[in-house]
């Protein structure tokens, strides 16, 4: 297990190094002048030159790369060109919205999808199964911004249980924020839950056809006991993979939902960064997201080993 | 006194008849062998008794055990009987255990689920049962993947007999195991039956296994029991035609007309192949697995050479090296004087050796027609009249030219193996490697394929390298045989001499472990002629 963890950790660090080189190369090295790009076509040459000095673009490529990486390691992500505040502060503020939202949505998705997927698999071919799979099909097909607007219409405008948008901030206490994040989390969770339920069902059905399930039944376990004690854990591996991917996606991919609910999240930050040509923000946020994806992959790998003893020896 | 009495058991699945009028009695403490070919309904009979039939199954008839009709019980009562009064073990020990739970847990579960013991008590009893099946050296916290096939089957047996059931059903319990392991497992089962006064329903396709273990035998064909009786009597009289066919096929000796020449075709000299295993410690040396160590032999033109050994002995690695699929660390292999080297074989050399594998289901691309499948080797030696050549190859193996437009799923296992042979023949190789090529086939089909191979060899002057774990088959079809153990050839010589007078200890073990029908039970056979 120690060997396995160490090897995964090494691969995590290598991935981070490769990712940082690629991001740096794409944004700072390949064609054109970042300063000119940020200022637009009509900028005066003096302004561009000033920005170049400001950004430290006069230095060599290697020096700039190490300055950038070194800065990130010490928490200094540079200054946002448009906001004129440290990028680290911008990101931290947005992360306090996006991270809870992602965890909330994913928690809802898992809590809904796993039982439903298990039920569908255990009753394969029944009306229950057909109903659940039909609903899942619908859940994947419905665009989440439309579903979000529907939620606002019903729960915010008609029933007035939740507000239609906005985020009070964590200094306002715990529950007001949970309340503000509930509708967006539900809107995000629905399609993810639909996908997860389908994966859970097919993984479990495959597991239920395995010989060891027949062995378990021959020992005297009922169908339900065989599912819960023997099939479920074996079926979790593909589910874990998907949950890991969904986490990374939701962290920055919630931009449409963030717009619908006026949430100051990471998705909107990166969108603004791109439209305002604020490369410093883009570069740092992309690196942060890459880090999140790699970290989640690492955690999913550890979870695999926890579920499956065969992986621990590698 | 009868423990289990099955009367007129019938079964349909989605309307298709599977079993019809199956009746038998199983007395307390006795072994009943249920014999038949694949698809005869042996396994379905056992699953019907356990109430574990697939969806769409409809049973009729009765199966009385202790005054209850097993076929009439509801699911709840059956759960109380499975594992407690009837234990069951299956064919595939590699997949019969849950890979993510320890063996101790899985044995203890049988006890816990029936409320026979507390958690701690169950673990103690599980330890005791594991000791009984010969796993006293194994800690309870081992996972199945850390055990060999034979050890896993012992765990399955421990699970099945944990509660000392009165009836044990064993469905092909040794089919997937090596011959020496098979002998140990059969001994264990016999011992358990005697000690615990258990009755055993032993399901198998192998007449020799039944001959050594069962008190009574029932022969199944197409969902019916065609003949049953005390083992020796049934084997001696063989009243039913089907029993006689099975009997003849199981010891079938193809008529071989070979003239091995002195001309060497394949020469292997000092072949070595080892693999580097993952390091045990971060900075320690990487351990090596020596799959093939210093193997040398010569195969002559027109000769059949057998290679026998148990799983993991290096047969497959050696085979891959001969096919030019595996690089050697030392030594050389030459085919017809030309060097065989992985990655550096000219097509003309590759065309001289072809292979037929064990699995007639897995070795064809299901989306291609037979014509394309059989014509595949032509990329090594292009030929103009492909369709004619394919037609000829199909005729050579006893199929029809029209079969080339069909897909592989339209054929039976035996027919598929014929197609595999046609594919190997089509570019007229000198050497065909038969890697467990008849091991997955039913006895009657196997006999036909062996006849076909002998016939082709006589007509085309082929050489065969015949790799198998089945000693009786190797004995029937080879001129010389090599015995391989742990990467080395431990004995090598004329087939008859080795089988009659084995010199190496390991060869003796293998031959002794091979189940056989007592020779004097066979007496009538000479007058019967060959099989249909």
CB contact under 8 Å between A212 and B160, yes or no, is no
Task: For residues A166 and A232, state if they share a domain.
Answer: yes
CB contact under 8 Å between B99 and A309, yes or no, is yes
Task: For residues A200 and A133, state if they share a domain.
Answer: yes
Q: Is the pLDDT of residue B282 over 80?
A: no
Band (B498; pLDDT cuts 50, 70, 90): very high
Distance from CA of A122 to the nearest CA of B (A): 13
Q: Would A81 be classed as within a structural domain?
A: no
Task: For residues A288 and A217, state if they share a domain.
Answer: yes
Task: For residues A34 and A174, state if they share a domain.
Answer: no
Task: For residues A285 and A193, state if they share a domain.
Answer: yes
Q: Would A31 be classed as within a structural domain?
A: yes
Q: Would A295 be classed as within a structural domain?
A: yes
Are the beta carbons of B66 and B235 closer than 8 angstroms? Answer: no
> Which 8-state DSSP code applies to residue A231?
I
Residues 159..178 of B with a Cβ closer than 8 Å to A: which? 159-160
Band (B175; pLDDT cuts 50, 70, 90): confident
Task: For residues A146 and A243, state if they share a domain.
Answer: yes
Q: Would A78 be classed as within a structural domain?
A: no
Residues 126..155 of B with a Cβ closer than 8 Å to A: which? 143, 145
Distance, CA of A6 to chain centre? 24
Distance from CA of B118 to the nearest CA of A (A): 17
CB contact under 8 Å between A211 and B98, yes or no, is no
pLDDT of residue A30: 62
The three-state secondary structure class of B35 is strand
**Distance set, CA A156 to CA A51, A129, A183 (Å):** 46, 33, 9
Task: For residues A57 and A135, state if they share a domain.
Answer: no
Task: For residues A96 and A59, state if they share a domain.
Answer: no
CA atoms within 13 A on the CB side of B222: 2
Last residue in a domain, options A19, A39, A73: A73
Distance, CA of A200 to chain centre? 19
Residue A139: CATH number of its domain:
1.10.3720.10
Last residue in a domain, options A73, A97, A126: A73
Q: Smallest Cβ distance to A220: which of B95, B110, B145?
A: B110
CA atoms within 13 A on the CB side of B120: 0
Distance from CA of B176 to the nearest CA of A (A): 14
Closest CA to A280 of A105, A37, A104: A37
CB contact under 8 Å between B95 and A3, yes or no, is no
Any A CB within 8 A of B113 CB: yes
Domain that holds residue A99: 88-312
Any A CB within 8 A of B261 CB: no
With b meaning 16 or more CB within 10 Å and e meaning fewer, what string describes A242-275? Answer: bbbbbbbebbbbbbbbbbbbebbbbbbbbbbbee
Distance between CA atoms of residues A40 and A37, nearest Å: 5
The residue of chain B nearest to residue A208, with distances taken between CA atoms, is: B98
Chain B CB contacts of A307 under 8 Å are 100
Q: Is the pLDDT of residue B214 over 90?
A: yes
Task: For residues A101 and A57, state if they share a domain.
Answer: no
Any A CB within 8 A of B97 CB: yes
Q: What is the mean pLDDT of chain B?
A: 88
Band (B275; pLDDT cuts 50, 70, 90): confident
Q: Smallest Cβ distance to A220: which of B55, B83, B145?
A: B83
The three-state secondary structure class of B352 is coil
Domain total of chain A? 2
Distance between CA atoms of residues B71 and B63, nearest Å: 6
pLDDT of residue A158: 83
Chain B CB contacts of A212 under 8 Å are 95-99
Looking at per-residue pLDDT, the higher value among B520 and B481 belongs to B481
pLDDT, one tens digit per residue, over A14-32 is 999 999 999 888 877 666 6
Q: Would A82 be classed as within a structural domain?
A: no
pLDDT of residue B230: 94
């Amino acid at each position: 297990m120690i060997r396995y963890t160490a090897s995964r950790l090494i691969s995590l660090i290598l991935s981070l190094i490769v990712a940082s080189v690629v991001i740096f190369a794409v944004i700072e090295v390949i064609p054109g002048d970042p300063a000119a790009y940020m200022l637009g076509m009509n900028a005066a040459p003096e302004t561009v030159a000033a920005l170049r000095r400001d950004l430290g673009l006069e230095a060599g490529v290697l020096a700039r790369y190490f300055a950038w990486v070194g800065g990130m390691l010490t928490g200094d992500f540079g200054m946002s060109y448009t906001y004129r505040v440290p990028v680290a502060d911008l990101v931290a503020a947005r992360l306090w919205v996006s991270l809870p939202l992602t965890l909330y949505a994913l928690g809802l998705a898992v809590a809904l999808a796993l039982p439903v997927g298990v039920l569908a698999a255990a009753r394969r071919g029944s009306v229950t199964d057909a109903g659940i799979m039909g609903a899942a099909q619908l859940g994947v097909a419905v665009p989440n911004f439309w579903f979000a607007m529907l939620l606002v219409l019903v729960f915010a405008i008609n029933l007035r249980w939740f507000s239609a948008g906005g985020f009070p901030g964590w200094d306002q206490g715990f529950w007001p924020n949970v309340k503000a994040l509930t509708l967006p989390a539900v809107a995000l969770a629905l399609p993810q839950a639909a996908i997860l339920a389908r994966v859970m069902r097919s993984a479990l059905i495959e597991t239920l056809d395995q010989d060891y399930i027949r062995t378990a039944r021959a020992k005297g376990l009922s169908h339900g006991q065989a599912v819960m004690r023997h099939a479920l854990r074996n079926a979790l591996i593909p589910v874990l993979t998907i949950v890991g991917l969904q986490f990374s996606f939701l962290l920055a991919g919630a931009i449409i939902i963030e717009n619908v609910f006026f949430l100051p999240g990471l998705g909107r930050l990166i969108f603004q960064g791109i439209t305002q040509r604020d490369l410093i923000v883009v570069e740092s946020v992309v690196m942060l997201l890459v880090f999140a994806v790699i970290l989640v992959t690492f955690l999913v790998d550890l979870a695999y080993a926890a579920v499956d003893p065969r992986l621990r020896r590698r | 006194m009868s423990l289990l009495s099955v009367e007129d058991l019938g079964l349909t699945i989605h309307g298709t008849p599977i079993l019809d009028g199956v009746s038998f009695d199983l007395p307390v403490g006795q072994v009943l062998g249920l014999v038949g070919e694949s698809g005869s309904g042996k396994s379905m009979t056992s699953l019907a008794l356990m109430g574990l039939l697939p969806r769409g199954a409809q049973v009729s008839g009765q199966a009385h055990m202790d005054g209850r009709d097993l076929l009439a019980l509801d699911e709840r009562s059956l759960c109380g009987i499975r594992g407690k009064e009837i234990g069951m073990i299956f064919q595939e020990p590699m997949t019969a255990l849950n890979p993510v739970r320890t063996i101790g847990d899985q044995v203890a579960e049988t006890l816990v689920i029936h409320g026979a013991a507390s958690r701690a008590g169950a673990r103690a009893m599980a330890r005791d049962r594991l000791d009984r099946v010969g796993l006293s050296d194994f800690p309870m916290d081992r996972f199945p993947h850390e055990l060999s096939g034979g050890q896993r089957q012992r765990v399955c047996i421990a699970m099945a007999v944990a509660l000392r059931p009165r009836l044990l059903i064993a469905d092909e319990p040794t089919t997937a195991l090596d011959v020496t392991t098979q002998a140990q497992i059969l001994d264990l089962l016999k011992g358990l039956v005697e000690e615990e006064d258990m009755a055993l329903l032993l399901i198998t396709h192998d007449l020799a296994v039944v001959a050594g273990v069962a008190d009574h035998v029932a022969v199944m064909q197409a969902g019916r029991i065609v003949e049953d009786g005390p083992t020796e009597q049934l084997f001696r009289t063989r009243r039913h035609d089907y029993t006689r066919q099975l009997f003849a096929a199981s010891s079938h000796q193809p008529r071989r007309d070979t003239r091995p020449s002195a001309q060497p075709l394949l020469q292997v000299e000092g072949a070595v192949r080892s693999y580097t295993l993952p390091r045990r410690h971060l900075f320690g040396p990487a351990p090596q697995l020596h799959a093939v160590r210093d193997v040398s032999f010569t195969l002559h033109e027109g000769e059949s050479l057998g290679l026998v050994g148990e799983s993991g002995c290096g047969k497959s690695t050696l085979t891959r090296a001969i096919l030019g699929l595996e690089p050697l660390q030392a030594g050389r292999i030459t085919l017809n004087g030309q060097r065989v080297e992985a990655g550096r074989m000219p097509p003309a050399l590759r065309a001289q050796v072809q292979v037929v594998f064990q699995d007639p289901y897995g070795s064809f691309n299901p989306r291609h027609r037979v014509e394309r499948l059989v014509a595949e080797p032509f990329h090594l030696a292009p030929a103009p009249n492909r369709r004619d050549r394919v037609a000829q190859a199909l005729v050579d193996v006893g199929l029809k030219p029209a079969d080339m437009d069909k897909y592989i799923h339209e054929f039976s296992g035996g027919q598929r193996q014929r197609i595999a042979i046609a594919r190997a023949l089509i570019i007229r190789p000198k050497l065909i490697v038969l890697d467990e090529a008849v091991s997955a086939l039913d006895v009657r089909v196997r006999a036909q394929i062996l006849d076909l191979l002998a016939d082709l060899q006589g007509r085309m002057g082929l050489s065969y390298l015949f790799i198998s774990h089945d000693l009786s088959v190797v004995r029937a079809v080879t001129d010389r045989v090599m015995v391989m153990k742990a990467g080395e050839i431990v004995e090598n010589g004329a087939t008859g001499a080795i089988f009659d007078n084995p010199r190496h200890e390991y060869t003796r073990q293998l031959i002794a472990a091979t189940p056989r029908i007592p020779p004097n039970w066979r007496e009538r056979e000479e007058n019967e002629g060959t099989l249909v």
